[in-house]
Structure 1
Amino acid sequence: MAVSVDVHLLSGKRVSLETPEDATVAELNQSAQNALAVGRGRLLSADGHVLDASQTVKRARIRNGDELYMRVQLPEVTAWRKRSGRTFATVLGDGSVETWSSAKDHGDDSSVKAQPKGVQHIQASSSAFAAILGDGSVVTWGDRGSGGDSSPVQAQLKGVQHIQASFSAFAAILGDGSVVTWGDHYSGGDSSRVQGQLTGVQHIQASFSAFAAILGDGSVVTWGDLDSGGDSSLAQGQLTGIQHIQASFSAFAAILGDGSVVTWGDHYSGGDSRSVQSQLKGVQHIQASKGAFAAILRDGSVVTWGGRGFGGDSSSVQAQLKGAQHIQASDHAFAAILGDGSVVTWGDPAAGGDSSSVQSQLKGVQHIQASSSAFAAILGDGSVVTWGDRDSGGDSSPVQAQLKGVQHIQASFSAFAAILGDGSVVTWGDHLSGGRSVQGQLKGVQHIQASFPAFAAILYDGSVVYFR
């Protein structure tokens, strides 16, 4: 049976494609790249999830009439922080890596003695980088204790397909489905306890200091800090046929093939879902705040659990949560976009859980982004509505007149940066987190990457501008 889908680019360009249900997502992706005349990219679902390239269209739950999005692979900017400042790394168009620091005293943080070539992807822990090269090898640099030194496992890092990072460690999936880890042992840098089980790994998710790997048979292997979800032994008998895993700060939630959910880790961070277990049926998607989870069911209703102060209790708005399409989370609150483009919020009012002051403006919402304690919504006409903590970007009134034709919004810890249709940028929020105005200084911006206190913008010519 053939499935018809529309694939969109951020620019607005789109293409309609037909694909057999038994075709792989990778094949659909290649067809979309050819039709859109773009370089390498990845397909995303309508709610922003990267689709597993190895799955068939049917297993990925791509249905007739679905709208997918393509994230074109651009030069990447990623960042990590040390006390002396923040260091950035950029993957340039030719695959080389350029690094620089925001600190006056760059020290060992500002450069790589032998800059790698042919870089495909960079991942960052809190204070280190790991770059995958075109030949599948890996180059690391930064703080040794956070994964900046991979020399103990360097000989094993061959044919690397993907890297995931916790706060202070890395986990690499190799081409044969095995896993290599390094960095802080307590944050998952030591997987020796489960190494024999890590075969046929398809995907890895990370909490603050633990990892969870989905194997080819749908089972799960965990390691790292036991209190952060590194121990799944109590739930292991239920962890079969896993489709997707989401992580809060110290817990994991796994969606099974039948749409049910299994949780483990810190109870106060959502690791205990027993109070709502009977409701967790037909789950399509799960979002996590710092200490709670919110699940969208097949009928568009929402089920929440975890810490009340983190949005784990949605009872006050439950009657409104119908037809939910997407959920975004700040550290302590959630915001759900409904099918009619309206928004429902809950959780800590100071962190964006109360949107009553702007509720009448929240119509035709297309996308929501969150900082640590505030939200920013893009409306259908390209304008923006914000709410939550003023110091975290919840008040955009100083730049409201400039927020027209917004294409995308990125968030740092306490600020937002919006890319307009003409490639210029508008920022607001905490000045120390990148909220300082750059109006008129940035043109031709294609993509923005955020760290905790700053932003880095990639321009159309492949150059990079750092601002904070």
Structure 2
Amino acid sequence: MIVRVTLLSGKEATLEVDPSWTINDLKQSAQMEMGLGLGKLMNDCGEVLPKTATISQAGVQDGETLTATVRPDALQLVASWQAFSVLRTDGSVVSWGNAAAGGDNRDVQDQLLDVKHVKATASAFAAIRGDGTVVAWGDPGAGGDCSSVFQQLREVTELQASTAAFAAIRSDGTVVTWGNPMSGGDSESVRDDLREVQSIQANFEAFAALRQDGSVVTWGNPNHGGDSRNVQDQLRDVQAIQATSCAFAAVLHSGSVVTWGTSHFGGHSGDVAKLLKRVKRIQANIAAFAAILDDGSVVCWGNSQFGGKSNSVQARLRDVKDIQSSEAAFAAILADGSLVTWGNPMCGGDSSSVFLSSRRVQEIQASGNDTMGAFAAVLEDGSVVTWGSPSCGGTVPSRIQPQLTDVAKIQATRAAFAALRADGHVVCWGDSACGGDSRALRGQLRNVKEIQATQDAFAAILVDGSVLSWGNDYNGGDSSYVDL
């Protein structure tokens, strides 16, 4: 059957379609034909056609003309653990996925206007609007309800999030918090100290605020670093803070390091304190830290099973220029482009099976959790090598490997990878339930400019400003029911 889709401007597309197609399939075809993003499709009575209905179910007749609205382009993709939110160029926000994790923002939709930035906890979102106010939605216990501090949320310039709480920095350097008190949602005890704050770092259940004078203020779960009184006299002239799940590490301008929080998660660095001099940068996973010194060497501490000890590869850790981490392992890129890994072998801590030869590593991404995981490395020639647990994408199927050419970027869920090629095509592998199989999109993953991931699903922004998602339907893999 033939269906015409027209815009108020007069531009139209004439399509040959199958009655079994959904209205969303029809819209996607019209978008490709017109070369721009479309919003709602309406019949000649002005009724909006449901995206999930088939063309036949929607009552569309052969030769009928439908009217379409123009959809604002997607500007930013943000993910909680089980939901996505997309910020559009008109300042509106659309969410989908697990409703309890922020996937349903209908209750605040009329407030989501002139949004400039969106941030997420594990199961909630918060948006900063152009006037500096904040709107939150999702799990109330994880920061999805900011009504208790709404009057204080004025002139907000930045948001930071733990797993279940938000912290907002206002233009005057003060801080407002909300969400689970045990995750840092209550900062009343340190309110008088939270002034002239320039940045905030978070772990799972605590916050650390770096003030303009180089001092640090902490709050949240004391066992996770929310109580820094034991090291407060050392927290002077701090330049940067990094965090594992339960501990913090502060790099001072002198190059030394101060740590606090749970000891076996990196909160105690006494064993390597004498080595932590001239530190340039620190990387962290769930339970260990790795510091790059100014001579290119590396010092590690924390849980040894997570990479807190690098004895087996220490001699090779020279001229390190970057370190990336999975949940329980580290991967260091050396100046010559070679790779050194350590930590849990099932999380990518053993890359001995990968032959890199002289091909230089450009980027590394990791999937997994604290017991299983994998790394995927983009090499300078645009090819990809993987290692770690096969169930988390550590092995690329033979039918997929030839497609991994000219790769520019990789994203990961907990058990799958998605590689964005320079030509805008996306290649996926790993657990299909976590986004490792995108074949259901029927070749629509081209002209992609950005990819984002929840735990179990991927979402991509296309050059035309439209959005596609795949993976676990319940956790963000199905966006067919929202107007993207």
TM-score of the superposed pair, with normalisation by structure 1:
0.81
Question: Is contact 1:147-1:182 (8 Å) kept?
Answer: yes
CA distance in 2, matches of 1:463, 1:273: 47
Contact 1:98/1:115, CA 8 A, preserved across alignment: no
Match of 2:467 in 1: 464
SS at 2:327 equivalent: coil
Q: Counterpart in 1 of 2:80?
A: 80
Q: 1:317 to 1:242 in 2, by over 3 A?
A: same
- The answer (yes or no) to whether the contact 1:362–1:385 under 8 Å persists in 2 is no
User: Contact 1:141 / 1:148 at 8 angstroms: preserved in 2?
Assistant: yes
Q: Does residue 418 of the first structure (1) align with residue 419 of the second (2)?
A: yes
* Candidates 248, 251, 254, aligned match of 2:247: 251
Contact 2:288 2:301 in 1 (8 A): yes
Partner of 2:453: 450
Structure 2 counterpart of 1:432: 433
Q: Which runs of 5+ in 2 are unaligned?
A: 1-72, 472-484
- 1:313 counterpart residue number: 309
C-alpha distance in structure 2 between counterparts of 1:116 and 1:204, whole Å: 25
Q: 1:155 aligns with which of 144, 148, 151?
A: 151
CA-based RMSD of the aligned residues comes to 1.8
C-alpha contact (below 8 Å) 1:423/1:445 kept by paired residues: yes
Partner deviation per Cα, 1:52-79 (whole Å, 9 max, x = no partner): xxxxxxxxxxxxxxxxxxxxx9711223
State the SS of the aligned residue for 1:357: coil
Residue 355 (structure 1) shift: 0.3
Corresponding residue of 2:52? none
Aligned to 1:387: 387
Report runs of 4+ in structure 1 exceeding 6 Å deviation: 105-108
- Within the candidate set 119, 143, 167, 2:163 is matched to 167
Aligned equivalents of 1:284 and 1:107: distance in 2?
37
User: Alpha-carbon deviation of 1:401?
Assistant: 0.7
Structure 1 residues 91, 107: CA separation in 2 closer, same or farther (over 3 Å shift)? Answer: closer
**Would you say the 8 A contact 1:343–1:362 is kept in 2?**
no
Structure 1 192/110 Cα, relative in aligned 2: closer, same or farther at 3 Å? closer
1:232 aligned partner: 228
1:101 paired with 2:102, answer no
Q: CA deviation at 1:144?
A: 0.8
Does the aligned pair in 1 maintain the 2:94–2:105 contact within 8 Å?
Answer: no
Q: TM-score, normalised by structure 2?
A: 0.78
Which residue of the partner structure matches residue 402 of structure 2?
Answer: 401
- The yes-or-no answer on 1:213 pairing with 2:206 is no
Q: Is 1:114 the equivalent of 2:117? A: no
Query: Would the aligned equivalents of 2:364 and 2:376 in 1 still touch at CA under 8 Å?
Result: yes
Aligned counterparts of 2:229 and 2:424: Cα–Cα separation in 1 = 50
Distance 1:75 1:136 in 2: 19
**What amino acid is aligned across from residue 424 of structure 1 in structure 2?**
H
Aligned to 2:5: none
> Is the CA contact 1:362–1:379 (under 8 Å) kept in the aligned structure 2?
no
* Contact persistence 2:183–2:221 (CA under 8 A): yes
**Matches of 1:412 and 1:191, distance apart in 2:** 32
TM-superposition CA deviations, 1:75-108 (whole Å, max 9, x none): 1122335xxxx432110112111122367x9998
Matched with 1:274 is 270
Q: After TM superposition, give the deviation of residue 436 of structure 1 in Å.
A: 1.6
| Partner secondary structure for residue 409 of structure 2 | strand
Deviation, 1:361, is 4.8
Greater CA deviation, 420-429 or 314-323? 420-429
Structure with larger Rg: 2
Contact 2:121 2:143 in 1 (8 A): yes
Q: Does structure 2 conserve the Cα–Cα contact (< 8 Å) formed by 1:87 and 1:110?
A: no
> Take 2:242 and 2:157, find their aligned partners in 1: how far apart are those partners?
20
| 8 Å Cα contact 2:80/2:102 also seen in 1 | no
For 2:427, the aligned partner's letter is: V
Aligned 1:22-33 pairs, distance under 5 A: none
Which amino acid in structure 1 is aligned with residue 271 of structure 2? Answer: S
Is the Cα–Cα contact under 8 Å of residues 96 and 115 in structure 1 kept in the other structure? no
> Is the partner of 2:213 in helix, strand or coil?
coil
> Within 1, Cα distance between the matches of 2:88 and 2:223?
39
Number of equivalences: 391
Identity among equivalent positions (%) equals 55
Q: Residues 106, 280 of structure 1: CA spacing in aligned structure 2 closer, same or farther, 3 A cutoff?
A: closer
2:85 corresponds to: 89
Q: 1:321 to 1:400 in 2, by over 3 A?
A: same
- The answer to whether the 8 A contact 1:101-1:110 is kept is no
Q: For 1:259-318, what per-residue CA distance to the aligned partner results, in whole angstroms no more than 9, with x for missing partners?
A: 110000000000000100111111111000110000000010000000011100001100
The answer to whether the 8 Å contact 2:418/2:429 transfers is yes
Counterparts of 1:374 and 1:380, CA distance in 2? 20
Query: Which secondary structure state, in structure 2, belongs to the residue aligned with residue 114 of structure 1?
Result: helix
